[in-house]
Amino acid sequence: MARYLLNVVETYRVPTVNEALEMRDEFNAAAEYELQSFQYTTKFNKKTEEEYQVVKVKKVINEEKDPLSGVQVSYAY
């Protein structure tokens, strides 16, 4: 049975808006997937008085109706 990865949603935390926008540019330039959505939200930690950005990205790997490639997912921590 063939299994095709259709899309992934990733959430990141970065310190600044500029870093979030740099990530968007990197994701747009990648040939392995299509960037379907990108958003960032500015958050503030009252305890530490730290501001940061939460970035959410949706990447389309294969079209649902016509998948072209198998993808092996691997996470390294």
pLDDT score recorded for residue 75: 83
Residue 70 resides in a domain: no
pLDDT for residue 20 is more than 80: yes
Instruction: Convert the pLDDT of each residue in 28-60 to its tens digit.
Output: 999 889 999 999 999 999 999 999 999 999 999
Domain span at residue 24?
7-60
Q: Is residue 68 part of a domain?
A: no
Q: Is residue 76 part of a domain?
A: no
Residue 41 lies in a domain: yes
The whole-number pLDDT of residue 28 equals: 94
Predicted TM-score (pTM) of this structure? 0.84
Instruction: Note whether residue 54 is domain-resident.
Output: yes
40 lies in some domain: yes
Distance CA 77, CA 65 (A): 33
Domain membership flag for residue 66: no
Q: What is the CA radius of gyration of the chain?
A: 15
Q: Which residue has the higher pLDDT, 67 or 39?
A: 39
Residue among 21, 7, 2, 3 at smallest CA distance from 60: 7
Residue 30 inside a domain? The answer is: yes
- Domains: count for the chain: 1
